Structure 1
Amino acid sequence: MDRSDAIGDERAATPARPTWLRVALRAAGALALLLVGAVGGALWSERRALRGELAGPVGPAAGVAPSTAAPVAAPATGAPGGGADEAPLEITLPPEAVRRAGLRIATAATARPAVTLTVPGTVVSNAYRETKVAALVGGVVRQILVELGSTVRRGAPLAIVFSTELAEAQMKYLAARAMLHADHQKLVRTRRLVAIGAASRQELEEVQATHDAHESELAAARQRLLLLGLTPEQIDALGGASDVAAEVTVAAPVDGVVIARGVNPGQAVMPGQELFVVADLSTVWVIGDLHESDVGRVHVGARATVTPPTTPSRPVVGRVSYLDPRVDPATRTAKVRVEIPNPEGTLRLGMYVTLALEVSAERPVTVVPRAAVQTIGERTVVYLPVADGEGRFVERPVTLGATFGDVVEVLAGLTPGERVVTEGSFFLRAEAARLRAGG
Structure 2
Amino acid sequence: MKNNKILKYIILLGCGIFLGWLIFGTSHQQPQTHNHTETTGKTQLWTCSMHPQIMQPEPGDCPICGMDLIPAASDNEGLSPDQFRLSKNALALANIQTTVVGDRNIENEAIKLSGKISENEEANSVQVSYFSGRIENLFINFTGEEVKKGQLLATIYSPELVAAQQELITASSLKSNQPALYKAVRSKLKLWKLSENQINAIEISGKVKENLPVYATVTGTVTQKLVEQGDYVKQGQTLFKIANLNSVWANFDVYENQIDLFQKGQDIAITTRTYPNKVFNEKISFIDPVLNTGTRTLTLRAELNNKEGLLKPGMFIEGKIKINNNTSSQMLMIPSTAVLWTGKRSVVYIKTMPNEPVFEMREVLLGNKTGEQYEIIEGLNQGDEIVTHGTFTVDAAAQLQGKKSMMNKNEGETTVNHENHSQLNQKYFEINKRVAVPGEFQNQLKNVLDDYLKLKDALVNDNPEASVTNAKKIVESLNKVDMKLLTGSQTHNHWMMLEKEIRSLSTLIIHSQNIEAQRNHFNNLSLYTTNAVEVFGVKETVFSQFCPMANNNKGAYWLSTEKEIFNPYFGEAMLKCGEVVKEIH
TM-score, normalization by structure 2: 0.37
- Structure of larger gyration radius: 1
Higher relative contact order, chain-length normalized (CA < 8 Å, sep 6+): 1
